[in-house]
Amino acid sequence: GDSVTQMEGPVTLSEEAFLTINCTYTATGYPSLFWYVQYPGEGLQLLLKATKADDKGSNKGFEATYRKETTSFHLEKGSVQVSDSAVYFCALTLFKAAGNKLTFGGGTRVLVKP
C-alpha cells in the first residue's frame, strides 16, 4: 500500500541554522505530496505542496521539491526561527474521483533554541 517515511525526531537546532527533514514515499500511482505543520496547541495546517514531478512547493521560507526518481520530498529551510518549533508531517494523496485520502508519515518534532 501507499506509505510515507520521514526521519524521526526530535530535531534540535539553534536559531538561524539550516533545517532538513527527509521524506520518502511509496505509492502505486503518481501522488501529490504535502507538508503539514502542527504548532504547539494548534491544529494541523498545510505548509506547502507539490502536485507533479520536479515541482517545488514553498511557503514561509520552507521549500520542498518533488523528486520522482528518488521518491522523495525533503523539507528545507535555510535559517530557522524559534517560531518554527513544531511537528512536521509529510503526506501524500492519490486523487480519485471520490476524493483524496491523505497518508501521513510519522511526524518530526523540531525544536529551535534561541
Based on the shown chain and the rule CB under 8 A, indicate whether residue 42 belongs to the binding site for another protein: yes
Based on the shown chain and the rule CB under 8 A, indicate whether residue 98 belongs to the binding site for another protein: yes
Residue 71's CB: how many other CB atoms inside 10 A? 16
Based on the shown chain and the rule CB under 8 A, indicate whether residue 89 belongs to the binding site for another protein: yes
Residue 111's CB: how many other CB atoms inside 10 A? 14
CB 35 within 8 A of CB 45: no
Candidates 84, 93, 110, 112; binder of another protein (CB under 8 A) is 93
- Which stretch, 15-23, 67-75, 78-86, 103-111, contacts another protein (CB under 8 A)? 103-111
SS3 category, 32? strand
DSSP symbols for 49-64: EE-STT-EEEETTEEE
- Which stretch, 12-20, 55-63, 71-79, 93-101, contacts another protein (CB under 8 A)? 93-101
Q: Point out which residues bind another protein (CB under 8 A).
A: 32, 34, 36, 42-46, 49, 51, 89, 93, 95, 98-107
